[in-house]
A and B are shown apart, each in its own frame.
Chain A
Amino acid sequence: EPEVTQTPSHQVTQMGQEVILRCVPISNHLYFYWYRQILGQKVEFLVSFYNNEISEKSEIFDDQFSVERPDGSNFTLKIRSTKLEDSAMYFCASSKDRGRNFGPGTRLTVL
């Protein structure tokens, strides 16, 4: 069964550095999402992406964040200048309808 994959599984970075989290959605899916989960807290929506543009974003998704689908397979989340509070698990998901297939997550640690 096809799966959403994410790389890296764990990223450690210094505050102020840029990070790019990568996702490969399921190939015939049309909708792509990023979510984050700060340790011990609930999952939060960041952004949804459809037809090569952002379809919805949350208040968390400020100017420090951007998403891109650089080719036919990858979907990336960039954080331009990381802050300590960006430390979290970041989940990518994809869907072809209202369902969701989640990736395994990338744990981002900002020091």
Chain B
Amino acid sequence: KNEVEQSPQNLTAQEGEFITINCSYSVGISALHWLQQHPGGGIVSLFMLSSGKKKHGRLIATINIQEKHSSLHITASHPRDSAVYICAVGRGSQGNLIFGKGTKLSVKP
């Protein structure tokens, strides 16, 4: 069983829609990361959180430590949001990251 599970695997949305991507994990963590990987392959860090909620522009990330679950929300989605969104969990103070398989998001104009 994967230690980090993401859903859905693929998501197609119309421009303007509200999007939610979910991440569940089965191990104890020190922090959870949301990453964005563009078609060219580069990885950008969106959020790192260990509790509560963070917001940056149209992106919101939440985490429920008790339920071992996190969500990434995108409000007013745009075609430029099309990318793979990856959840990764960190263990220990500077331990390795365990990655989910990613959610491929396609936003249609």
Interface residues in chain A, defined as those with a beta carbon under 8 Å from any beta carbon in chain B: 31, 33, 35, 37, 41-45, 48, 50, 55-56, 58, 89, 91, 95, 98-102, 104-105, 107
Contacts and interface: CB of A to CB of B under 8 A. Distances in A.
Interface of A is mostly: strand
B101 interface: yes
A31 B41 contact: no
B75 interface: no
Nearest to B100: A42
Contacts of A104: 40-42
Interface of B: 30-31, 33, 35, 40-45, 48, 86, 88, 90, 92-102
B43 A102 contact: yes
A98 B93 contact: yes
A55 B94 contact: yes
Nearest to A89: B41
Given A43-B86, A43-B88, A98-B30, A48 B96 contact: yes
Nearest to B86: A43
Contacts of B41: 37, 89, 104-105, 107
**8 closest pairs, A vs B, by CB?**
A45-B96, A102-B43, A43-B99, A42-B101, A104-B42, A42-B99, A98-B31, A99-B48
Nearest to B92: A56
A80 to B, nearest CB: 22
A33 B96 CA distance: 9
B43 A98 contact: no
A45 B100 contact: no
Contacts of B45: 99-102
Given A43-B88, A101-B45, A48 B94 contact: yes
Given A43-B99, A100-B33, 14 more contacts: A31-B94, A41-B101, A42-B101, A42-B102, A43-B86, A44-B99, A45-B97, A45-B99, A48-B94, A56-B94, A56-B96, A98-B93, A100-B97, A104-B41
Most buried by B among A43, A44, A105: A43
